[in-house]
Amino acid sequence: MHTVVVGTSGVTASDVLAVARDGARIELSAEAVAALAAAREIVDALAAKPDPVYGVSTGFGALATRHISQELRAQLQRNIVRSHAAGMGPRVEREVVRALMFLRLKTVCSGHTGVRPEVAQTMADVLNAGITPVVHEYGSLGCSGDLAPLSHCALALMGEGDAEGPDGTVRPAGELLAEHGIQPVELREKEGLALLNGTDGMLGMLVMALADLDTLYKSADITAALSMEALLGTDKVLAPELHAIRPHPGQGASAANMLAVLKDSGLTGHHQDDAPRVQDAYSVRCAPQVAGAGRDTLSHARLVAERELASAVDNPVVLPDGRVESNGNFHGAPVAYVLDFLAIAAADLGSIAERRTDRLLDKNRSHGLPPFLADDAGVDSGLMIAQYTQAALVSEMKRLAVPASADSIPSSAMQEDHVSMGWSAARKLRTAVDNLTRIIAVELYAATRGIELREGLTPAPASQAVIEALRAAGVQGPGPDRFLAPDLAAADAFVRGGHLVAAVETVTGPLQ
């Protein structure tokens, strides 16, 4: 099994994906263990002094003015975890919780938190055992960390609360720890606070969304090209020299992908011979511009994610010179903004895909295709309601594009009076990514049927490879009306699993 070694300098996106989705094992580097021990010595020295230090010998948030005596400090750390584990609503997905815990471990191992090495090792042991704490949908405002979600994880480290075992069964966390020979942690000064105070949940979801969207943007380039073929559009608008004079990198990449898919097509431009059109509609002609802008948004979001993956987010932090200083680095604004930005771009990509689907189904705009791509229009409804489903998904995408980060709600008796709502931005982006996958699947279903209905015209080799792979995956081609939901589900799985991109790349080589 793949092993991820956690050091002091952060982790990579591929590390997060390996742990969250693939169950990779985790090891702590010797460097990280040494840094943990050194920082802990500083915290222990401060804890022994009479002067109050936030997070070490004081209360938290609006209660930070109270100095806590030494005999109550272990109870203080337990209490912050128990009281902050106040989430509600449905359970969060296993991959999100694993990313959340792993990214908190990443910051702990930086040597800036003051957590003991044995606590960090327990975090790694829990992940390696396949134990996943139960975390709920609501409880984070994206500031002072993803507090409730991280608290539910810390609670499991203490042997309290519920967790899902490697067999998928939810049980008391203490039982699961005992079965795997893991000793519950007994938190000391600062450790409870350090386990709760980070942007780890929203960052984990950002990393996974970026991976999914990378595939979806390639998929959208492919379906746009297939729709262009089915509509007998012209690929002249994809010429590299046209995109060179507006040099947005994403636009050029999308146009190049579409051009690669359409190489040697017998359908594109065919309309110029018998039914001249001066220009294709915007949804066809401007596909690279819209998808390209989304790709550039991905690039910006990836830069933010890389910076955050290299960060140590905690409050207070232990500095190399021995100071323990309060700060505002836990604020989720940098991550929240790009999560919202990605949802906006995804909504627009879904919207333009739906417009192409609608054009394929409308006999007045499809340039010779039967109404709704039906076998016997009137007797058959064809893909009429598939487009309804796609339109409903697009409508929800537009609602999900409303930014969460534009909101703020004061908390902790006005001490924490401006929050990022980054967790909420991440949660709605996950829904948007799911919906976008389904939207692209519907366009794929319609475009391939449209191509097959162009009798006597030969599609591009890459398009033919897609059609063959799609049919082999159980998605049926043109014909009389049938129960449509299974076909759409199979098309969704085809896109979601990366099979659409893989089918094209067997002909074109790697897409951009």
Contact 279, 256 (CB under 8 A): no
Cα–chain-centroid distance for residue 334? Answer: 16
Spatial separation of the C-alpha atoms in residues 441 and 57, rounded to whole Å:
56
Spatial separation of the C-alpha atoms in residues 325 and 432, rounded to whole Å:
38
Contact 443, 367 (CB under 8 A): no
445 catalytic residue (yes or no): no
Spatial separation of the C-alpha atoms in residues 457 and 271, rounded to whole Å:
12
Task: Tell me which residue of 373, 497, 384 sits closest to 440, measured CA to CA.
Answer: 497
Q: 337-365 b/e with 16+ CB inside 10 Å = b?
A: bbbbbbbbbbbbbbbbbbbbbbbbbeeee
Strand partners, 162: 172
Q: Which of 54, 138, 282, 445 is catalytic?
A: 54
Q: What single letter denotes the amino acid at residue 6?
A: V
* 225 HSE (CA, 13 A, CB side): 31
Q: Are strands 3-6 and 25-28 parallel, antiparallel or unpaired?
A: parallel
Contact 102, 79 (CB under 8 A): no
Contact 132, 98 (CB under 8 A): yes
321 CB contacts (<8 Å, ≥6 apart)? Answer: none
Tokens at 14, concatenated? 């591929």
Tokens at 108, concatenated? 């702990």
* 350 HSE (CA, 13 A, CB side): 31
Strand partners, 325: 317
Q: Which residues are catalytic?
A: 54
